């Protein structure tokens, strides 16, 4: 019998790169600029996507989305997923973030304490065409720039820089030995040191040092002085009431499901308090809690419990291979992130068997470093996000095939930038329709 054809991942790099070039012939890069026109009601699509969320929290979610078009984009991943699926795609699949906007990148400390820059939200992760993430990132760059008052030409340039950085880093990763590419990570201190504007570079270096120093007293702004309680700060942090039993059950199942070496660590902590915590824009309305754990000496550990619902990509990219959505999120994060939280795992709880994942609560001061850089220098932050996304996709997909599609010319970033501006205009129109729906009482936003 003849030998079976090799699986794509086991083909030589040159053959996989040629497969990417072949995909370019089927779908030219200039076709990525296309924004499929279709009649749609953005408010109705948003409401349909929100049916599984906690109804009492939807007015808070919509109030946050009302602020500007960028906030609206952050909360409307389901709407953009439908728009992306309506257009052409390359067929080159990677593990996608699924909600790849500017503020879903950020800073966190590796297990060794090194500040890393990476994607930090995987609620919508699923295998999908790689360019869907790139398009959402570039569109978010253009929308954020426009929301800050930049002209369309500047907004387009920033989006193009993100896509260009993606292409250049993907080409570099595709040429590396496989393990070197897998180990690639974005060291934030090194990235900040590369800022070519001296005043901004020195400012961000001071902020990074201050954030690292403050992280040694993590949670001081969330935990009461006695170290045993989580004070309420409505409407963002409040008591769970009857739902507290669900959180207790989920945390208990989480602890039982950890690998033995992690259980050995957490066996030294005891759960002291639980509170509901609304987070971000996209996650508002899902079941999110924080559990305060402490040692006998009062050393605190905050573990965040987040509900995992179906990915917004699933109707278009196909159902997850994992029946448990918490497992889908955790596996996607472990694939895409350079260094993952050692306490990350999935769990479930409550009479309905809700799916959750648990992670160490991110230090808000470290996480804010990325947002501060974005505010100060989008021309630096946008390419940093593009480079980071390429690193994540190279771990989760076929870097050689994607590099073959991207090529050495500028056609990819030109098309992505054109798409980004078109989608920014559409988002501004959708945001206006959303605000009008609030004004006439079609949907309710909190004061």
- Phi, psi of 54, rounded to the nearest 5 degrees: -70, 115
CA distances from 124 to 64, 313, 314 (A): 20, 7, 9
Predicted pLDDT at 191: 78
- Tens-binned pLDDT, residue by residue, of the chain (447 aa): 344 444 567 789 999 999 999 999 999 999 999 998 778 999 999 999 999 888 888 998 999 999 999 999 999 999 999 999 999 899 999 999 999 999 899 887 777 777 788 999 999 999 999 999 999 999 999 999 999 899 999 999 999 999 999 999 999 999 999 999 999 988 877 877 877 778 878 877 887 777 676 666 656 677 877 777 888 777 678 787 788 889 999 999 999 999 999 999 999 999 999 988 877 677 777 888 899 999 999 888 999 999 999 999 999 999 999 999 999 999 999 999 998 999 999 999 877 889 999 999 876 556 656 555 555 578 888 999 999 999 999 998 999 999 999 999 999 999 999 999 999 999 999 999 999 999 999 999 986
Q: Map tokens 């220098």 to a residue.
A: 377
Distance between CA atoms of residues 43 and 28, nearest Å? 33
Q: Are 342 and 132 in contact (CB under 8 A)?
A: no
What does the domain layout of the chain look like in residue ranges? Answer: 8-216+365-439, 224-360
Neighbouring-strand partners of residue 293: 271, 301
Q: Map tokens 């039982």 to a residue.
A: 256
Predicted pLDDT at 46: 93
């Amino acid at each position: 019998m003849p030998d079976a054809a090799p699986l794509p991942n086991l083909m030589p790099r040159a053959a996989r790169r040629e497969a990417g070039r072949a995909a370019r012939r089927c779908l030219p890069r200039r076709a990525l600029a296309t924004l499929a026109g279709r009649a749609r009601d953005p408010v109705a699509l948003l409401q349909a996507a929100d049916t599984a969320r906690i109804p009492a929290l939807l007015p808070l979610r919509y109030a946050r989305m009302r602020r500007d078009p960028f906030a609206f984009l952050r909360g409307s991943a389901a709407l953009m997923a439908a728009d992306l699926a309506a257009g052409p795609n390359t067929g080159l699949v990677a593990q996608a973030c699924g909600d790849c906007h500017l503020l879903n990148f950020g800073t966190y400390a590796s297990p060794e304490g090194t500040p890393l820059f990476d994607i930090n939200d995987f609620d919508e992760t699923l295998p999908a065409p790689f360019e869907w993430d790139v398009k959402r990132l570039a569109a978010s760059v253009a929308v954020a720039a426009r929301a800050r008052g930049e002209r369309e030409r500047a907004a387009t340039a920033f989006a193009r820089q993100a896509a260009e950085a993606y292409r250049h880093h993907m080409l570099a990763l595709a040429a590396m030995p496989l393990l070197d590419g897998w180990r690639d990570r974005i060291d934030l201190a090194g990235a900040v040191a590369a800022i070519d504007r001296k005043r901004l570079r020195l400012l961000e270096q001071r902020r990074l040092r201050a954030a690292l120093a403050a992280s040694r007293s993590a949670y001081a702004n969330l935990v009461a002085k006695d170290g045993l309680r989580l004070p309420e700060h409505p409407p963002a942090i409040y008591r769970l009431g009857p739902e507290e039993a669900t959180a207790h059950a989920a945390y208990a199942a989480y602890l039982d499901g950890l690998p033995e070496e992690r259980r050995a660590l957490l066996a030294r902590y005891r759960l002291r308090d639980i509170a509901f915590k609304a987070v971000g824009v996209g996650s508002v309305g899902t079941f999110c809690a924080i559990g305060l754990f402490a040692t006998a000496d009062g050393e605190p550990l905050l573990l965040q419990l987040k509900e995992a619902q179906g990915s917004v990509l699933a109707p278009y990219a196909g159902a997850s291979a994992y029946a448990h959505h918490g497992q889908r999120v955790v596996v996607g994060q472990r694939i895409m992130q350079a260094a993952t939280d050692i306490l990350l795992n999935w769990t479930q709880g409550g009479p309905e068997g809700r799916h959750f994942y648990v992670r160490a609560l991110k230090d808000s001061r470290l996480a804010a470093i990325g947002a501060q850089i974005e505010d100060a220098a989008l021309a630096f932050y946008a390419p940093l996000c593009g480079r980071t996304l390429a690193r994540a996709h190279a771990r989760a997909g076929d870097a050689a095939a994607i590099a073959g599609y991207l090529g050495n010319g500028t056609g990819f970033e030109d098309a992505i930038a054109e798409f980004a501006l078109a989608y920014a205009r559409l988002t501004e129109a959708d945001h206006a329709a959303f605000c009008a729906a609030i004004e006439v009482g079609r949907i309710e936003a909190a004061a």
